[in-house]
Amino acid sequence: MDDKNLPKEIPPHWLTFCTVEDCAATAAKAEKLGGKVMKQPTKIPEGTFAVMTDPRGGAFAIIS
């Protein structure tokens, strides 16, 4: 992602991606377990990705 697409209030950061078999199913399960989907599953040329936080607010992404 290009920095020009991020709001100025978001500081430099890392975002860990984990590969999964089914992005939509994994995002739905994460929500049922107390996580929050910040970016719904979205298709891109490399696959489908979603950005989530765990129940304590830690951000991560998944991609299939």
Range of the domain at 46: 14-63
Interval 24-51 mean pLDDT: 96
CATH number of the domain within which 35 lies? 3.10.180.10
Overall number of domains in the chain: 1
pTM for the structure as a whole: 0.79
Look at residue 2 and tell me if it is in a domain: no
* pLDDT computed for residue 55 by the predictor: 92
22 within domain boundaries: yes
Confidence at residue 31, expressed as pLDDT on a 0 to 100 scale: 95
CB-facing half-sphere around the CA of 31: CA atoms within 13 A: 13
Cα separation, 10 vs 6, whole angstroms: 7
pLDDT tens-digit profile of 14-32?
A: 899 999 999 999 999 999 9
Assess if residue 3 is contained within a domain: no
